[in-house]
Amino acid sequence: MHLLRFNTNMNSATIKLFLPRGDAKSLRTAEISNWTGKAVAAPRTELDELLQRDEIEKAGVYILSGTDPLSGSPRAYIGEAEVIRERLKQHKTKEFWVSAIAFVSKDENLTKAHVRYLEGRLIVEATQVGRFTLENGQSSGSKLPESDREDMGVFLSRIRQLLPVLGSDILIPVAQPAAKQQSGGMLFCSMKGAEARGHRTPDGFVVLQGSTAVLQERSSTKGQPYLIALRKGLIADGTLIEKNGFYEFTKDAEFSSPSAAAAVIEGGSANGLTEWRTKEGIVLKKLDEQV
């Protein structure tokens, strides 16, 4: 059994993460100092243990996440219930999900109206972020008095802080604010008239909405099935659309590395450390060497 305490850098907070089995991927609970809420998370393989938790007897909101079995893309379901345990039992028929995270109030002050409001706000935010396709893209929501909306705003801010700690990036924007960008700030990549803007992220590299990529793939891509599949996937999900002789990014798109991003833009293998550069022409490799 482990009890971990650490600080987040977003509205500084001390988080207590409790691991009953000593495994961060198994059943776990999370709390924030001076907050009345609590989170409980578990993989689907431990659903029975999760359903036995006292917290799941309460009203709250929950997120089921996994992968769409047909498209292979991230998929999630955001729900609410007056008794989360009963609702989770009903979701055993859903095939896609592999993990569950529930948020409840320790003082039992969350009402049906509160959790419906939270569900609605979470669905809106997750849809705007666009990392996951939602099984339920709409919510009836709930209207609350101004004071209650303020309280639920605080509750939502804590949910945003805890989700990454519990392994979910469903509410994290693909393109982070400038202050959080990695070395180099805004970077540029160009090839045969295609122009792209992007920057490093904690998980790799993001190409920003409005950037363009070449239409034609180079002959060398025949030996790179991963690159071909990556471009086809971006076209299939609408991230890349043909426009004015190029592919245009309709939204921010995150890649595993600068090279993967550059390869999609240039239609063939590319060294992202030399293809991405500042507006002054300094390549990413040089920027990394300065760190």
Distance CA 25, CA 271 (A): 34
The answer to pTM > 0.85 is no
CA dist 36 to 30, 107, 270, Å?
A: 12, 6, 50
The string over 154-190, giving b where at least 16 C-beta atoms fall within 10 Å of a residue's C-beta and e elsewhere, is ebbebbbbbbebbebbbbbbbbbeeeebbebeebebe
Phi, psi for residue 41 in degrees, rounded to 5: -135, 150
Residue ranges covered by each domain of the chain: 2-165, 178-290
Q: DSSP code of 277?
A: B
CA distance 98 to 147: 36
Q: Which residue has the tokens 């982070």?
A: 176
Distance CA 194, CA 211 (A): 8
Give the integer Cα–Cα distance in Å for 254 and 7: 26
Gap between the Cα atoms of 99 and 28, Å rounded = 12
| Residue 1, pLDDT score | 47
Q: The tokens of 68 are what?
A: 């769409």
pLDDT score for 63? 97
Consecutive 10-residue averages of pLDDT for the chain (291 residues): 47 87 92 94 96 95 91 89 96 94 92 94 92 82 88 95 94 67 76 94 90 90 82 91 96 92 93 93 89 61
Within a 10 A sphere around the Cβ of 151, how many other Cβ atoms?
Answer: 16
Neighbours of 207 (CB within 10 A): 31
| Confidence at residue 183, expressed as pLDDT on a 0 to 100 scale | 54
